[in-house]
Structure 1
């Protein structure tokens, strides 16, 4: 029986390699190693050596070739990682990001060729997708999609309770006074939205717009574990990004759920600008609101963000440089909006990095330190599942999750 099991394992491993190999060009000449920018002369020979190892065998690379490919992958990633972290991100050349992506790709392929656990291969793909630049027609995204069905379904560790049985008691939101409530509107026409809200830059809560999105029926903590539990993502640790103890960390979605969704005291937030590109299965469950067509940019220019976390997480009062549709999938959020005209009464931070963020704690303001805050007029709402809040460009907004919550925001011009 042991011999049979070993043979079946080898057969399955060979079949997976054949599937993975089919994602790549048929021969070395079809993998040109083109880089969009200059890199140091020592890098290209390393890339070519890794390519030769990948294509050197008629079939699957042997143990020695897989080990050599892994070593080259480590060198490429370590060397390019130093370049990625040597200065401001905007100054990092695309060529070095592509080198990092190639390093992750070759490393993931070495893992598969060696027949080892696929979890590390998937992690390498995710690191390349997060920090690298697309290579070979986005080969990393295609590779991870091929590997994922072969992984065991991830489940949150550390408890046998269903995730939704964990309830954190949060302070109730402030009472909403009628004159401060953001108006609600059911499926307005494009013209009505444009003339009454977009052009005059007035906030509004839209209802009925996302009822048909698959996420409204499919998404839950269990669903995220099944679809994305093994995927590595950046997580923000702390109740709000202005806290001194706030930090960021890479972890799997399953570990994030175990440590920050199901735990009683830890506070962490999955705030991800690349999640839907990284995990296309989730992107298929949402739709870009039709009203975005009223903007000046193309659909590809729209930035889609994910916001997933427990009750008690807070986005301090801040403003963004684009129009924003904030769509609530599950959970509730208390949101307060201030007009850009009140900016001077909101005491923005003086530092360049936080100039778009207020110093005021909205729900517990220090009026001795910030006396003019009382002069600022605001609107507020409790954003419910199935509702979309239109936040005009530069409008100041404060957000507190009242319970376990998942939101999707669309930034558009």
Structure 2
């Protein structure tokens, strides 16, 4: 992707407003503001006023209209944000997510109308894509694709010193040092198979639920030749993504933060004293350029769902990051693009010996530190048999549904996982 523009005034262009305006319905009544679910009565008048400001001028809204649109956007986002954070995410009504998306849309349009630099407009689009629900034929994704080429090139690189946490905040977490992975014993090794037929994979691995490392399946994916840290900064450096801070999500200091890909690279990839991990369930929908570089494995067609039901996840981070021993409710293909990972698998039949957390939130996660177990506290862990491998670039590991898996990045790595039923 060519990234051009200047740091100042890249949004100050009547031509850009015309391009952005063309992404919306031609007439005001075409922007229907239809919401899926119950939303409080006070919200719709705010949405209609914002819509009227966008459509009220023959050309670009003047400064007063842009300022009023920005204020309405702030109100819509703040009000819906409270609704998004009042309980479990699965209980959040789609209508409130749509209101948040509209708030982000109107905020981004206000930035363009005001002629400001476009970084904040792009960030608002990303927030709407991450936390909102699709509106107007996924207009936020189309808008960000129009804005991104006009941004200045992303700057990244090794900082002169590790960034300091702001006063009053905890310092950035660092990984506990780990040595080389345990030696792989032949009887514990996960079998390898090169490009099996659909029938062979189904009969010998899918139906009996046996793990296997697949070779040669992803050799033709464009990501195998294209992807690098520089490539990510070029394609997505300005994009806002959620980053997990800490070596593992069960650590007390673990947290999440939204930041641009360039900031993530500078703070957590180029600076090895900090540990952060980009674990993203929406990255490929948010940044379609990356999705074009991968393919859904053909073996997913053996599942019961449709292709749209397959969840594609991105895992990008430095060496030392760990996914504690846990299980997932779907079949999993874990594809390694670059870097190596040490992986250990346990059968669901050994669940009682793996000491899952008793809390509802972590019930699918073991309390045991796989590489440094406390046998006094968890004596039955010695009874659990396991298989292991070092997943290399170009290999795909099939992890059957509910299989327990522990993953440690041995170096800077990028993986793509496909969850399917």
Q: TM-score range by the shorter chain?
A: over 0.9
Displacement of 1:344: 0.8
Displacement of 1:89: 1.2
CA RMSD of aligned residues (A): 4.8
Contact kept? 1:170, 1:402, Cα under 8 Å: no
Residues 1:153 and 1:211: Cα distance change in structure 2 (over 3 Å): farther
SS of 1:9's equivalent?
coil
Contact kept? 1:335, 1:400, Cα under 8 Å: yes
Residues 1:99 and 1:387: Cα distance change in structure 2 (over 3 Å): same
Displacement of 1:15: 1.2
Work out the CA distance in 2 between the residues paired with 1:240 and 1:106.
Answer: 37
Displacement of 1:161: 28
Q: Structure 1-normalised TM-score?
A: 0.94
Displacement of 1:6: 13
Match of 2:383 in 1: 375
> Does 282-291 or 170-179 show the bigger shift?
170-179
> What is the CA deviation profile of residues 254-275 of structure 1, one whole-angstrom value per residue up to 9, with x for unaligned ones?
1011111111210010000010
Displacement of 1:400: 0.2
Residues 1:165 and 1:282: Cα distance change in structure 2 (over 3 Å): farther
Displacement of 1:137: 0.4
Which has more helix, going by share of residues? 1
> What is the CA deviation profile of residues 76-119 of structure 1, one whole-angstrom value per residue up to 9, with x for unaligned ones?
10111111111111111111110110000000000001110100
Displacement of 1:162: 28
> What is the CA deviation profile of residues 137-156 of structure 1, one whole-angstrom value per residue up to 9, with x for unaligned ones?
00001000110000199999
SS of 1:163's equivalent?
coil
Q: Structure 2-normalised TM-score?
A: 0.92
Residues 1:265 and 1:43: Cα distance change in structure 2 (over 3 Å): same
Query: Structure 2 residue aligned with 1:308, among 297, 300, 316?
Result: 316
Where in structure 1 do 4 or more consecutive aligned residues deviate above 2 Å?
A: 1-12, 152-158, 160-170
SS of 1:170's equivalent?
coil
Residues 1:412 and 1:5: Cα distance change in structure 2 (over 3 Å): closer
Work out the CA distance in 1 between the residues paired with 2:8 and 2:323.
Answer: 51
Displacement of 1:167: 14
Work out the CA distance in 1 between the residues paired with 2:33 and 2:210.
Answer: 50
Displacement of 1:11: 10
Structure 1 residues without counterparts, runs of 5 or longer: none
Work out the CA distance in 2 between the residues paired with 1:218 and 1:244.
Answer: 36
Match of 2:53 in 1: 53
Work out the CA distance in 2 between the residues paired with 1:179 and 1:2.
Answer: 50
Work out the CA distance in 1 between the residues paired with 2:3 and 2:360.
Answer: 65
Contact kept? 1:156, 1:254, Cα under 8 Å: no
Residues 1:264 and 1:118: Cα distance change in structure 2 (over 3 Å): same
Query: Structure 1 residue aligned with 2:170, among 129, 149, 162?
Result: 162
Residues 1:376 and 1:268: Cα distance change in structure 2 (over 3 Å): same
Contact kept? 2:83, 2:92, Cα under 8 Å: yes
Displacement of 1:178: 0.5
Work out the CA distance in 2 between the residues paired with 1:164 and 1:32.
Answer: 45
> Does 138-147 or 4-13 show the bigger shift?
4-13
Contact kept? 1:156, 1:257, Cα under 8 Å: no
SS of 2:3's equivalent?
helix
Structure 2 residues without counterparts, runs of 5 or longer: 152-158
Contact kept? 1:333, 1:401, Cα under 8 Å: yes
Match of 2:8 in 1: 8
Contact kept? 2:10, 2:118, Cα under 8 Å: no
Residues 1:155 and 1:173: Cα distance change in structure 2 (over 3 Å): closer
Query: Structure 2 residue aligned with 1:322, among 330, 345, 353?
Result: 330
Work out the CA distance in 1 between the residues paired with 2:6 and 2:374.
Answer: 68
Contact kept? 2:141, 2:286, Cα under 8 Å: yes
Displacement of 1:369: 0.8
Residues 1:205 and 1:154: Cα distance change in structure 2 (over 3 Å): farther
Contact kept? 2:345, 2:405, Cα under 8 Å: yes
Contact kept? 1:311, 1:404, Cα under 8 Å: yes
Say yes or no: does 1:141 pair with 2:149.
no
Work out the CA distance in 2 between the residues paired with 1:85 and 1:17.
Answer: 33
Work out the CA distance in 1 between the residues paired with 2:145 and 2:198.
Answer: 37
Displacement of 1:2: 27
State the aligned residue count. Answer: 412
> Does 170-179 or 64-73 show the bigger shift?
170-179
